[in-house]
Structure 1
């Protein structure tokens, strides 16, 4: 059974313009309005509350060296969200975290580390592998979450409470990057499996899911992270960085259907209702989650 956890964070994103605040914090309620919660309740899901973040602060370029944007607030929220995820899992539920931005992966990783969560399937239109070792422009964790999740970031972020690395690199699969992503080669050399978006489009989501399920380290279950910018801009423009070459909704649904039963939990991130004035993209995200993740945790919990 799914436990729906709302995590309305925007802490890991750059401001869309000076003085403005990213809209991802509005995503859980926008998805509720689009009918997602009602659909999931029809499948037996239960509400597991809201984990509120601290205030978003635009540092205006004055952030201290060697830190990330909203670092203190991110760490505090990660601890709270990780605890909520662990509580849901202990109750025999599959936590489904509705974000929010991709920095929420840190909380999922902390929860995985303390509860024996296995590997990571990272579905994202970008590698999210910027880190202090490869870029002077690091500092917005929503574009650096995968690097932090496997220990390639500032220790203050990648080793909170001594739990890092949160996921083993070789038990991590990334799905969905575009060929022009500048960090794809470095990431692919470190993690267990990389499946670019073009390969999913060519061979189908079912085949991609089968590859992931057969990958070493993921057979004992995994966290499934889904950034909706893996969708092509033709279908999803309500994200901060839409890039061409992404999946169609039905391709993503097929991929997620194959992965969800083995995943013990999942996160859905980066949908921005501020970029969706008529609610059409919210309906797309709601359909993807309902049809793709409806059986989240089924096999993972049967095998425990």
Structure 2
């Protein structure tokens, strides 16, 4: 999504990189995405939007993630939209495989087997990384599935998510935002840890937050979790995470920077648990 491409610099300006640096992190640089093209009128219907640019960016970001791992460090990827999960998955598959904890206000489980409208990987990323999308997206370099479905846990969808029933049959576990809110972040994290195993990638789509907390997303659906719950989730999951990606914050919808500052606190305070 064009607006979300501005998130890394907006969060840098709001203090995120300084906060992480104070905990010992180093700046791993920028992997520029290809230019966004509105290609709905010209692309092959069997292709997703910006497919060529997306696949190229996936390979380049996967290489950068692998480079960080080669130094013994843990990558934190600041997106961008949820399509960056493809790169995390490709890098993980090249490494030999990890589990996945997918924290998102939607299951992102749309794929050609359940929809005739597949085009936006930002709403199809979880299905893609467990091997259910078209090969051009789900099997880059012959690495499908990037994450084994039984080691993939999803947390945070709304109760009316249209693909949750299928996700529950395919994934190791799926916990709704309402269950997470009533049972507590620690219990949800425990279920995810049991599913994902000793090493896993953590994908955080900030639309898991309720719009009263985080309206600066493209799909601000009511019924999300609070800032404290997301901070706690990250804090519990971060110490054993192979890597973390944070996506879908849109600075164009945050004119005064208030949402950026909230998100900086959530990310930095959550990750502090990994280095304390």
* TM-score bucket of the superposed structures, by smaller chain: over 0.9
Instruction: Identify which of 245, 251, 276 aligns with 2:229.
Output: 251
| Matching of residue 236 in structure 1 with residue 219 in structure 2 | no
User: Cα deviation per residue 1:186-225 (whole Å; 9 max; x = unaligned)?
Assistant: 111000011111111001111211222222xx22200000
State the distance in 2 between where 1:125 and 1:54 align. 26
Q: CA deviation at 1:60?
A: 3.9
| Unaligned runs of at least 5 residues, structure 1 | 1-9, 11-21, 300-304
TM-score (structure 1 length as normaliser):
0.89
Q: 5+ unaligned residues in a row in structure 2: which ranges?
A: none
Q: Aligned equivalents of 1:257 and 1:67: distance in 2?
A: 38
Match of 2:260 in 1: 282
Q: Cα offset for 1:295?
A: 4.2
1:3-22 alignment, distance < 5 Å: 10=1, 22=2
Q: State the match for 1:171 in structure 2.
A: 151
How far 1:145 sits from its partner (Å)? 0.1
Residues 117 and 264 in structure 1, CA contact (< 8 A), matched pair in contact too: no
Whole-Å separation in 2 of the counterparts to 1:76 and 1:295: 34
Residue 212 of structure 1 pairs with residue 192 of structure 2: yes
Q: Which residue of 2 aligns with 1:66?
A: 46
The alpha carbon displacement at 1:264 in A equals: 1.0
Aligned counterparts of 1:156 and 1:111: Cα–Cα separation in 2: 16
Structure 2 match to 1:39: 19
Match in the other structure for 1:51: 31
SS of corresponding position for 2:28? strand
The answer to whether residue 248 in structure 2 is matched with residue 270 in structure 1 is: yes
For residue 227 of structure 1, the aligned residue among 191, 199, 205 is 205
Q: Deviations over 1:257-281 (max 9, x none)?
A: 1111111100000000000000000
* CA distance in structure 2 between the aligned counterparts of 1:189 and 1:228, rounded to whole angstroms: 25
**In the alignment, is the contact (CA less than 8 A) between 1:159 and 1:165 conserved in 2?**
yes
Which of 224, 230, 239 aligns to 1:261? It is 239
Matched, 1:152 2:132: yes
Number of equivalences: 276
**Structure (1 or 2) with the greater helix fraction:** 2
Task: Say which SS state the counterpart of residue 148 (structure 1) adopts.
Answer: helix
Secondary structure, in 3 states, of the residue corresponding to 1:254?
helix
More displaced, 57-66 or 110-119?
57-66
Paired position in structure 2 for 1:27: 7
Q: What's the secondary structure of 2:119's corresponding residue?
A: coil
Residue 193 of structure 1 pairs with residue 173 of structure 2: yes
**Structure 2 partner of 1:6:** none
Whether contact under 8 Å (1:117, 1:223) holds in the other structure is: no
Q: 1:17 matched to which residue of 2?
A: none
Give, in whole Å, the separation in 2 of the partners of 1:128 and 1:30.
Answer: 25
Q: Deviations over 1:62-119 (max 9, x none)?
A: 3212100000000000000000001101100000000000000000000000113410
- The secondary structure found in structure 2 opposite 1:266 is strand
Aligned to 2:75: 95
TM-score, normalised via structure 2 length: 0.98
Give the secondary-structure state (helix, strand or coil) at the position aligned to 1:32.
helix
Q: 1:294 is matched with which residue?
A: 272
| CA RMSD between the two structures | 1.2
